[in-house]
């Protein structure tokens, strides 16, 4: 092994830390542990036969193209299908506004690579997606957290934060938001809140990164306009992915932005992986063309709605007084709040002994707060696991409460 490896690491890599969620998941490998920790889609949502049909058709009709290098921007067939997909939601874009990425995590990595210099500030929510925080920190970015209310990022707190940063001549590079079924809190921003935040971004001339991996997974409530649609000044960059609405194994995502911004993503991606695999893009395009995506989404939404409702019912039945939680209208997660003074990391170790797992909330808080919070996933576990797991978790909480 090379001696003194640390001495030759880049500054960014030397400061990088392993994912807290991945380290937690190691403790859940015991088959007796019921895990609410991961963000995994239900395996029943994977339409293997339909995907097999589409991939075989691609290979039979256009096999050499599917097995060749593709363009960095992405296969035009897939981008055209995404244009149609968004048009059905009232969003007008062209293929020139889209670049295909190797899942949305690459979109986050490229965003950091393009816009962040070491020491640059970025505005994020308290709480916010750990994968986003990790991507920004990997390039030396410094996340600055803004608290939430029941409608998402608090505009009053955001104004205060930005005014102070402007006074300090230390303005952030962008504002990072997950407006639909936010990870980890499960909150959906109403259109009025989205517009408020866009107005503030325009006032302070900020780029807005709209991370949108769960938007299509709405169970109830009214669909809200995308921030990209509301934006009138070309300052919104939207990230999307098929990981939660088709299959994470495809590793296909996309970036939507103004053409000049898309050019920067294309350039950055060329240095990363040249292109996302053509055969996978063409298979997904065929899947969408045949109407399979929407048909399967309808079934997946019904399945997840039942699981969410079951978890909420179990919370109401088993949790002791003083425990509160969010009730998301879609997505994969809800957020649970313990009484002030309780530590979810301490609870985690009690819960693991009780064969149940979750993600501690402080990993989603860039300022180290959120010790009394925790994220719960309802999409992956079975109905029986949800009932049994919530019982076990409630028992662990009662142990901590001394009940």
Per-residue model confidence (pLDDT) at position 403: 65
Sheet containing 121-126: give its strands across: 98-101, 253-256, 236-241, 207-211, 174-177, 121-126, 142-149, 152-153
Per-residue model confidence (pLDDT) at position 347: 97
Per-residue model confidence (pLDDT) at position 9: 80
Domains of the chain in start order, with CATH, are 16-47+294-401 (3.90.1150.10), 62-290 (3.40.640.10)
Per-residue model confidence (pLDDT) at position 2: 60
Per-residue model confidence (pLDDT) at position 24: 63
Per-residue model confidence (pLDDT) at position 361: 97
Q: If the chain, 403 residues long, is cut into consecutive pieces of 10 residues, what is the mean pLDDT of each piece?
A: 74 70 65 92 97 98 98 98 96 98 97 98 98 97 97 98 98 98 97 98 98 97 97 97 97 98 98 97 98 97 98 98 97 97 96 96 96 98 98 97 81
């Amino acid at each position: 092994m090379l001696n003194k490896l640390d001495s030759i690491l880049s500054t960014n890599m030397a400061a990088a830390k392993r994912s807290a969620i991945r380290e937690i998941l190691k403790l859940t490998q015991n088959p007796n542990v019921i895990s609410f920790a991961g963000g995994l889609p239900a395996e029943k949502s994977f339409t293997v036969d339909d995907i097999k049909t589409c991939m075989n058709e691609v290979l039979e009709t256009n096999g050499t193209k599917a097995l060749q290098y593709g363009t960095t921007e992405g296969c035009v067939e897939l981008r055209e299908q995404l244009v149609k997909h968004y048009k059905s939601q009232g969003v007008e874009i062209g293929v020139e506004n889209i670049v295909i990425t190797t899942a949305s995590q690459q979109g986050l990595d490229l965003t950091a690579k393009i816009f962040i210099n070491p020491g640059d500030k970025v505005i994020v929510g308290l709480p916010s997606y750990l994968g986003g925080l990790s991507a920004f920190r990997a390039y030396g970015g410094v996340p600055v957290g803004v608290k939430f209310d029941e409608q998402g990022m608090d505009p009053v707190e955001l104004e205060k934060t930005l005014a102070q940063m402007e006074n300090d001549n230390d303005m952030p590079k962008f504002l990072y938001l997950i407006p639909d079924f936010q990870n980890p809190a499960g909150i959906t921003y109403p259109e009025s809140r989205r517009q408020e935040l866009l107005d503030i971004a325009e006032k302070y001339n900020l780029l807005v990164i709209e991370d949108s991996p769960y938007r299509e997974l709405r169970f109830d409530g009214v669909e809200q306009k995308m921030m990209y649609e509301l934006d009138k000044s070309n300052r919104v960059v939207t990230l999307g992915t098929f990981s939660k609405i088709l299959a994470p194994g495809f590793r296909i995502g996309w970036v939507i932005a103004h053409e000049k911004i898309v050019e920067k993503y294309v350039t950055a991606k060329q240095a990363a992986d040249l292109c996302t695999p053509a055969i996978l893009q063409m298979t997904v395009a065929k899947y969408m063309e045949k109407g399979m995506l929407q048909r399967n989404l309808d079934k997946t939404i019904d399945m997840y709605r039942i699981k969410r409702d079951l978890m909420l019912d179990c919370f109401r039945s088993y949790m002791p007084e003083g425990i509160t939680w969010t009730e998301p209208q879609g997505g994969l997660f809800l957020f649970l709040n313990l009484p002030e003074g309780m530590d979810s990391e301490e609870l985690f170790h009690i819960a693991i002994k009780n064969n149940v797992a979750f993600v501690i909330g402080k990993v989603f808080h860039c300022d180290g707060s959120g010790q009394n919070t925790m994220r719960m996933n309802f999409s992956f576990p079975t109905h029986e696991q949800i009932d049994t797991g919530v019982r076990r978790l409630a028992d662990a909480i009662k142990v901590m409460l001394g009940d």
